[in-house]
Amino acid sequence: MFDIVFWILAAVAVGAALAVIILRDVFRAALSLVLLFLTIAVIYVTLYADFLAVVQILIYVGAISILIIVAIMLTHEVWRGSPSGKLRIPALVVSLLLLGTLVFTVVGTKWETSGEPPLQPTTAAIGSSLFGGGGFILPVEITAVLLLAAVLGAIVMIREK
């Protein structure tokens, strides 16, 4: 059952990602990016990451896609589309080389997978290892500083002189 779901999701995800770089209309590219984000949320569900799936929908589908669409509307360049630059052929060669190397390595490596059943539900475990002692409490606090710096930076950058 999961196999069929995975193949459908993989096809939709790759198609949506290709649409982002192929479509000439920037707004349609943004909409197919939203489709890609939704597909990735369902891929998290197939990996038993329920909390991450909700976070993906809240942050990516809810917030970042709105930010990107607002940016498209504020910069009146929709009519110009998204043309490729002079580096189109070298970029294609580089990304195909990277793809070949990655797939070759992934297929050739003997991964030591564990046969244990996955932990579920994950929300309580993620919370206790993020905020509990000996966990990731210091990175969480640094994250707060990072978000504050990002918000201040965005406000300063976008303010009218």
Partner 1 sequence: MSVGLEHYLTLSAILFSIGLYGVLAKRNAVVILMCIEIMLNAVNIALVAFSRYVVPMLLTGQIFAIFVIVVAAAEAAVGIAIIIAIYRNRQSVDVDKFDLMKW
Which residues from 133-152 bind partner 1, rule CB under 8 A?
136, 139, 143, 146-147, 149-151
Minimal distance, residue 43 CB to partner 1, in Å: 6
- How far is Cα 88 from Cα 24, in angstroms, rounded to an integer? 15
75-94 positions binding partner 1, by CB under 8 A: 75, 77, 80-88, 90-92, 94
Residues 6+ apart with CB under 8 A from 39: 9, 12, 13, 16
99-138 positions binding partner 1, by CB under 8 A: 99, 102-103, 106-107, 111-114, 116-119, 122, 125-126, 129-130, 136
- Which CB, 118 or 134, lies closer to partner 1? 118
Closest CA to 127 of 139, 142, 118, 137: 137
CB of 1 to partner 1, least distance (A): 11
Closest approach of partner 1 to the CB of residue 42, in Å: 11
Closest CA to 27 of 71, 84, 69: 69
Q: Do residues 56 and 41 make contact, with C-beta atoms less than 8 angstroms apart?
A: yes
Candidate list 74, 79, 134, 138; residue touching partner 1; CB under 8 A? 74
Look up tokens 């197939």; give the residue. 46
The residue written with tokens 């498209």 in the block is 72
Omega into 121 within 30° of 0, i.e. cis?
A: yes
Q: What's the closest the beta carbon of residue 40 comes to partner 1, in angstroms?
A: 5
For position 31 contacting partner 1 by CB under 8 A, the verdict is no
